[in-house]
Every structure is written in structure tokens, then in C-alpha cells.
């Protein structure tokens, strides 16, 4: 929120008027400074049961300024329940046990939330429904079941129609997949069918995912390679590859290593972005997919991975400068961010301003048609002691996720990345 003072000269003196202005702009998925914040699970309340004053508030509370750009509603945690309909649970705001259900189902009636959703959308935020969660029963038995479920989601939450729409007349802006258990069957088919339905709509729709930071993700990785996603909110927490990974951690924990060098948390995150950025531009069906750094919004929001806003902002600035796929930061969750002194504001400020386009750096390209990937790197290029002579070497041994393997015959520049067995 921008606070402006307007000076007005009057005959009787000077009146100072403080005016609060909020510039409304439509959501722009191409930007590199977006902030996505999950809402729905009252994470702060779960860990601070007596501090009810700071429990999760109504959705519109978190849409009063320009800080947050995207809000996934967490969660639709059961795919197939009573009557074949799913279940949703938004903790202290709306659930089947406190707000009632539609007849013949266990689907909570949260139609009172329609006004909040529409108010947030009017302020340029996108509101999506997040499927899954850490304890969600979110699995498909087949591709056909995934395709059929896409129609259900379209009818209940998006541009379709149903007599049991949980948010009434409100039309959400898309779907997020936070799949943390079960299997990978059916998710690519689900997204493909959802895309087909979205193409018939009269507004933009978005599909996002929240994989764990180990690559590839065990549950949603196959779908990310096969279907078109708009953004990926990588969970850099509750994992060895989290934002607060200790400085003594080497890449060997991630399946590779760089001989003799211990890496700080910045390099671990940036390495993961090398992999993710390479995936975004060479494997993803959508080459414009955006990759986010996901982080907990306080020390009690996750078991590990919390860092202060300045550190998180620096990670974002470094990723943005190097990788065109960088889209911004994701936080878990809104209740924790607000209780933690508006951590979301601090992160947004620390991340700084991005744009809708980023200069593409030197890249590593992986040929997809061969069973043994052939990797060609435009780096490293080394200059000999004779200033006029430049020698370029291309490393061709085994690679990892598009990052060339280390070779004893190649001289590397400082900061270069290699894989090493």
C-alpha cells in the first residue's frame, strides 16, 4: 500500500490530507516478482491454539493491499467421497463439520465465501483451489478417472455449472496440485482434460503445482513433464534441499557433488534452479512455465526451511538474475505470515521489483530424443594466459538434469556447475 500526502492550500491555511491508494493491476504470470501465499489451513492456529487473535482470518483480509498476487485455497483434500463428490476443508473458516454440506455429499457449503473471493479477484489477485495437501486422499486409479475428475472440478469451482458449487457464483481462477502422497497415475490426464475445458472459458485460467525440492518429484514429476503448467511452487522446506540447508552440506546429498567444495545454502538453492530452469525450458510442455522458491512464513510453519526475509529475498534476487523461468516466491501460509509481523510484506520488499521478461543466460541444452542424453554446454569458456587466445571445451561425459559432467581435461571458470560421480 502506498501512502501519499496531498497538500491543499486553503484561504484559512494548509490542510494535509493522507490518502491511501491501491493501484489495481491484473495478475501477470510472466512477472518475476509475484508472491503466492496459501490460505485455508490456519497453520498458525494449529501451532498456537490459545492465541486465537492471530488465527486465520477471512480470505478478503489478505487482499487489502498489493503484496500478495496469488492465493491457492488449501485444501480440497479428498477426491472421491460421499455421492462421488470431493471434500474441502478450510479449518476455522469453513468445513463440513461447522458449515454443513450439500445433500447427499460430504462437500462443505462455503457459499458465503463467494463475496470474499470476488473481492480478491477485483483487486487483481488470482484465487485457485489447491488439491491434495500433506494428508490428502488425492489419488487416481486410472487416466480415465483423472479425466472425469477434471470435469467435476470444472463444474464445481471453475467455468462449469452444478447445483453443489461450494463457492456459489464465484468462479475460481484455476487449480493447484499439492500432491504429497499416493501415486502419479492420472494427473497428466487430469491436467490435459482440464486444459481442454479451460480453453472453452471466457477468462484466463491457471494450473500450478507444488512439488518437493528433490528433483524429480515422486508424485507430480511425471505430470509436470507431460502436461502444461503455468507455475511451479517448489517446496524448499522440510527437505535436505531446503532454504536453510546447513553450510556444510554438499551436493552429494542431492545425488551429485562438486569435488572438494562445500556449498552454502545459496548455492544449493541456485543449483536446484539450474535443474528447474533447464527443465522449464527443455522438458516442460510449456516453455514459459514459472518456477517459484517456496518457503515457510515463520519458524512454526514447517519443520525446517525458514529463513529471514532478507535471506529469502537475496535467494530470489540471485535466481531472478540468472534464470528466466524464475517467477517469484511462494509462502506457507497466510496466517503464519501475518502473525510473523507481516513476513509477506518483508519478503515482497526484499525480493524487489521484477519484470515480465528476463534476459536468457547461457544455457545447457539436453537432446530429448536419445535414450542417453547428449549434453552440449555453451559454458565454460576459459581464456589462456595469452590474452588473444580463447579455448572452449565441451564436457560430454554423463550429465545430470542437463548439467554437464566434470572432466579432468576441462578448465572451469569460478562458479561453473558440474556433476561428479
- Residues annotated as catalytic (active site), given as ranges: 180
- Find the angle CA(96)-CA(184)-CA(323) to the nearest 5 degrees: 100
H or E stretch including 314? helix 309-322
Tell me the three cell numbers of residue 286: 510449456
Distance CA 316, CA 328 (A): 7
Distance CA 322, CA 264 (A): 17
Please tell me whether residue 330 adopts helix, strand or coil conformation: strand
H or E stretch including 294? strand 290-296
- The closest of 359, 387, 365 to 377, measured between CA atoms, is 365
Q: How far is CA 382 from CA 267, 388, 395, 413, in A?
A: 22, 12, 13, 7
Sequence-ordered list of residues with C-beta below 8 angstroms from that of 32, at least 6 positions apart, any chain? 290, 320, 326, 327, 328, 354, 355, 356, 358
Sign of CA dihedral 288, 352, 313, 335: negative
Amino acid at each position: 500500500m502506498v501512502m501519499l500526502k496531498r497538500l491543499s492550500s486553503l484561504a484559512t491555511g494548509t490542510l494535509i490530507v493522507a490518502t491511501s491508494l491501491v493501484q489495481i493491476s491484473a495478475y501477470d504470470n510472466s512477472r518475476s516478482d509475484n508472491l503466492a501465499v496459501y490460505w485455508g489451513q490456519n497453520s498458525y492456529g494449529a501451532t498456537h491454539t490459545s492465541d486465537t487473535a492471530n488465527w486465520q482470518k477471512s480470505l478478503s483480509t489478505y487482499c487489502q493491499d498489493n503484496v500478495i498476487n496469488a492465493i491457492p485455497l488449501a485444501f480440497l483434500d479428498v477426491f472421491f467421497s460421499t455421492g462421488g463428490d470431493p471434500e474441502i476443508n478450510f479449518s476455522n473458516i469453513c468445513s463440513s463439520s461447522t458449515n454443513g454440506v450439500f445433500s447427499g455429499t460430504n462437500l462443505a457449503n462455503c457459499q458465503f465465501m463467494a463475496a470474499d473471493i470476488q473481492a480478491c479477484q477485483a483487486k487483481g489477485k488470482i484465487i485457485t483451489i489447491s488439491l491434495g495437501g500433506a494428508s490428502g486422499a488425492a489419488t487416481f486409479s486410472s487416466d480415465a478417472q483423472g479425466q472425469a475428475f477434471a470435469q467435476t472440478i470444472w463444474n464445481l469451482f471453475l467455468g462449469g455449472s452444478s447445483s453443489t458449487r461450494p463457492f456459489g457464483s464465484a468462479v475460481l481462477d484455476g487449480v493447484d496440485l499439492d500432491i504429497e502422497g499416493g501415486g502419479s497415475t492420472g494427473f497428466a490426464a487430469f491436467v490435459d482434460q482440464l486444459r481442454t475445458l479451460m480453453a472453452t472459458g471466457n477468462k484466463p485460467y491457471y494450473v500450478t503445482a507444488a512439488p518437493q525440492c528433490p528433483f524429480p518429484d515422486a508424485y507430480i514429476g511425471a505430470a509436470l513433464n507431460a502436461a502444461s503448467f503455468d507455475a511451479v511452487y517448489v517446496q524448499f522446506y522440510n527437505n535436505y534441499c531446503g532454504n536453510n540447508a546447513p553450510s556444510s552440506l554438499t551436493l552429494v546429498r542431492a545425488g551429485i557433488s562438486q569435488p572438494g567444495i562445500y556449498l552454502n545454502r545459496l548455492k544449493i538453492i541456485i543449483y536446484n534452479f539450474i535443474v528447474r530452469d533447464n527443465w522449464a525450458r527443455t522438458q516442460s510442455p510449456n516453455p514459459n512455465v514459472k518456477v517459484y522458491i517456496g518457503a515457510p512464513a515463520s519458524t512454526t510453519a514447517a519443520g525446517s526451511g525458514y529463513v529471514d526475509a532478507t535471506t529469502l529475498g537475496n535467494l530470489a534476487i540471485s535466481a531472478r538474475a540468472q534464470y528466466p523461468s524464475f517467477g517469484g516466491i511462494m509462502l506457507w501460509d497466510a496466517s503464519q505470515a501475518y502473525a510473523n509481523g507481516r513476513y509477506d510484506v518483508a519478503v515482497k520488499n526484499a525480493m524487489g521489483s521484477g519484470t515480465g521478461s528476463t534476459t536468457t543466460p547461457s544455457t545447457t541444452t539436453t537432446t530429448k530424443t536419445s535414450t542417453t542424453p547428449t549434453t552440449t554446454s555453451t559454458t565454460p569458456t576459459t581464456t589462456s594466459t595469452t590474452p588473444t587466445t580463447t579455448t572452449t571445451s565441451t564436457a560430454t561425459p554423463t550429465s545430470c538434469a542437463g548439467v554437464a559432467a566434470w572432466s579432468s581435461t576441462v578448465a572451469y571458470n569460478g562458479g561453473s556447475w558440474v556433476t561428479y560421480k
